[in-house]
Structures are given as C-alpha cells and as structure tokens.
Amino acid sequence: MADLADLHELTALEQGDLIRRGELSPVELTEHYLARAEQLPADFVDGAFAHRDPEAARRRAFEVAAVGPVGDGVSPLAGVPTAIKDLNLTAGVPTRFGSPVFADHVPSVSDAITLAIEASGLVSLGKTSTPEFGSPCYTEPEGRPPAVTPWDTTRMAGGSSGGAAAGVAAGLVPVAHGSDGGGSIRIPAACCGLVGLKPTRGRISGFPLYGDPVGLSTSGSIARTVADAAALLDVLAGRRAGDPSWAPEPSSTFLEATRREPGRLRIACFEEPVIAEVDLHPEVRRAYDDTARLLGSLGHAVEGVPMPLPREAVGVFETCWAVLTALSTTNLDVDQREQLRPLTRWLGERGEAVSGPEFGLAIGQLRRHAAEALVALAPYDVVLTPTLATLPLPVGALRDDADPLADFEAQKRFTPFTSLWNVTGMPAISLPLHQSADGLPIGVMLAARPAQEATLLALSAQVEQALPWKDRRPPLW
C-alpha cells in the first residue's frame, strides 16, 4: 500500500481497489484530499472549486464507510473522492451556475449526475468552478480566481469544466465529472494534461431539466487515465424513463472495454480547423502528425480525409448556441441582467432575437449538416484531429468584456475542432499524448461512430500503453 501521504499519486481505480480490500477507508482517503487542498495555494484551490464543504464530505465518507462494499455490481470507484460541476443541481448544496445572479441559489433536488455519483458511493468534496452558465471555453467567473492549469499557473485551465480539470490535474480529486456542449470537457483536459471523455448523445440522462433542445451537451469524465475515465462513465451512464433519447446499452462495462485489444481499425484524420480559419501552432501540428504515425505503427490504417462539415454550418451552430444561452437569461429581470458578464448578455440578446421558426429551422439544418458528416465518416471506425489550435493561453487572453464579439471569435480560433462532435453526437476523447518544448500539455482528439465508446476506449487504452503519460507531474503537484 502507498504511504498515506502519497495517496493522490494513485489512480482513482487503485484507490478504489485499496478500499475494497479493506486496506484504506473512504474516511482516510477523504481526509487526505481535504488536507491536500490546504497544502496547495489558496488561489489555485479557489479557482478549481466554486464551493467546498469539508464537513459534508466527512459525513458522506463516514456514510459510505458504514455501508461498505455491497455485491459484485458495486462501482470500483466506491469510496473515492470526486467533485460535481457547478452547473449540476445538488440538493442542499449551493449551485450557482458560475454566475453572481445565482449567488444564493441552493436547489431542493439533485439531477441525474449527482444522483448517479451518490448511488455509486463516490464522495463529493464540493462543486467545481465553471464560467457563467458554462458558455465560454475559459473559466474566469466573476468574483473568483480563474481556474488555471497546474502546468503553468499563469495560463488558463480551459472551460467550461476548467475547475474540474484543474482539480484533477493538481491532485485535489482523482477523477471528476464535467459537461460538454462544444468542447467543455475536452478543452480543459487538453489544457491540463488529462483524459477528457465526451460520450455519445443520449448516453447520460439530462434529468430533470432537459435544458438542451438542440442535443449538443452531455456530461462526461475528466481523469488522469483512460481506465479512470471509463470507470466514471460507467457511473454516469444510463437512461431514465423520461429521457427524450438514449444510446443503446453496452454489452459490457466501459471499463472492460479498456482491457481488450481494439483490433485493426480504419482511422480517418484531418487537421483543417472546422469553425474558424486559423493556423495551427507548430507544436500542435507536430503532436497531431506524431499521433497519426503512432496509430499507424500500432497496425491501424490511417487515412487523410476532407474536413466533413461545410463552413455554412458554423453560422447555424452559432444561432443554436446563442438561443441556448438565451434560455438561461430570458427570465431574468433588469437588475439580474446587469449582473451578467458582457459575453453572456450579448449572446443571450442575440439568441432572444431569433424567432421560434428561425430556431426550428436552425435545428433542422444543423441536423442535416450532422447527417452529412456522419455519412462521410461512416466508413471509418475512428477520426483523429487536434484538440486545440494552440497551447494553453495566458489567463485573460480570450476574454474581452469591451467587445463580446471579439471574445467569441477568439474562442472559436482557440477551439476550432471540438464542437464538430457535439453537432454529430459522436463520442470523442482528448488524450494528453504530447508536451511542448517548455512542458505544456498538448491534447489530441479521437472520435468514434455513434454509441461506439467501447471502440474509442479500447483504442485510447492501447495508445496510452504505447505512450504512457500517467507519471507526468505538473510543477504544482
């Protein structure tokens, strides 16, 4: 067994295994992580967590320890600490959606994510930081420190699951939930040197709000290893009776998929940015090229293909994105709107200007564009692209309160690949395969056919075994 002082060095699954064997208790593990949060710089911790409640975490750990492992179906993550994004309803716990408008909001119900985490015996240490309503690809909420990458604390952790990624990357929790409507899991994973898994559309329930009528957003996993990400997906996945759509049940657990060979796959690849015209950073291009060669060396057939989404789809996506922002802001009064960030206000007003028929037409057009991309990629098992166009940027490099349009366009140039897979609904994962010359993480992205997370995870595990990253540690570690 690892020394108690080094428990955060273990993967989430290794920690869960010690608990199952009775060599470690959830209480000891929770105390370790609570103490670690006191050891790291306060601004970093406050940038990662929107809300921490050590006493509630201790109570939860005692409850889990009292029950103990029950049956063969218990999650291998039972007793392991985690955290829940500040966008997700958690009964009795402040849930502010990253906005001062909801500074005093404490929900009376929990959503499917919180319920699944609790039912699986994980111990939540609090709520991870997110930007206002999860909209930007950076995490700089009003009145709080920004979420930064522990590889260079002057640089952003990405967003909108930036707090979760910062926390996992710095060893504040071993694994965490995130959500992703345009890249919000994979972007911070790339910035923080982590695995970020966005599952297929319908894999995870949106109960009880079902707030995304377009179908862009889903929850998923942020972890240090592919196996940990798969184990958390096993916790989160599953449909509820009222879900409007759902993915087919897998034949086995997602964790088991990481333990099998993927076979010889046909892999498409492209490096043309999807939603913005931008030149790739040379080190990002090198990481992409190196990954394509690695996949070929593993026996897969790697083939370049044209970018499968037409440029006119970008404007349609933006219309839908603006309307989704408007759904969060349209019922606010004048005083509340004054508290919104300029970007949120601008996007919300843009969305409110879209008529009902225009929105319906945009959803239909986006689905047709998605269908065209799915047909074009159907011959391939997996698709490879970069995750981001450049390295993690300095805090504040994208944010422009004086010009929200410039802010929005800068975000597109930073993240020109990720939203494609939200449009198609395909599962996608960012892997921390590479580092820049000065030690910054560089992610590469793989996507698979709809509902084929098992293939995606099997390939990702094979790549991880060929070029391991688990033992890399950021300077803050």
Q: Is 328 a catalytic residue?
A: no
* Given 85, 127, 198, 412, the catalytic residue: 85
- Pick the catalytic residue from 75, 120, 179, 184: 184
Cα 78 from Cα 12, distance rounded (Å): 10
Per-residue b or e along 269-290, where b marks 16 or more CB atoms closer than 10 Å to that residue's CB: bbbebbbbeeebbebbeebbee
Rounded to whole angstroms, the Cα distance separating 96 from 35 reads 25
Which residue in this structure is represented by tokens 């179908």? Answer: 215
Under 8 Å between Cβ of 130 and 96: no
Catalytic residue among 99, 124, 135, 160: 160
- Residue 49, φ and ψ in degrees, nearest 5: -110, 130
DSSP string, 100-116: GGGTT---SS--HHHHH
Q: How many CB atoms lie within 10 A of CB 409?
A: 14
SS3 of 297, please?
helix
Verify whether residue 470 is a known catalytic residue. Answer: no
Residue 54: HSE in the Cβ half-sphere, 13 Å Cα cutoff: 10
Q: How far apart are CA 237 and CA 259, in angstroms?
A: 19
Nearest in space to 457 (alpha carbons), one of 381, 387, 385, 386:
381
Note if 85 is an active site residue.
yes
> Coil, strand or helix: which one is 450?
coil
Identity of the residue numbered 351: G
Q: Just list the catalytic residues.
A: 85, 160, 184
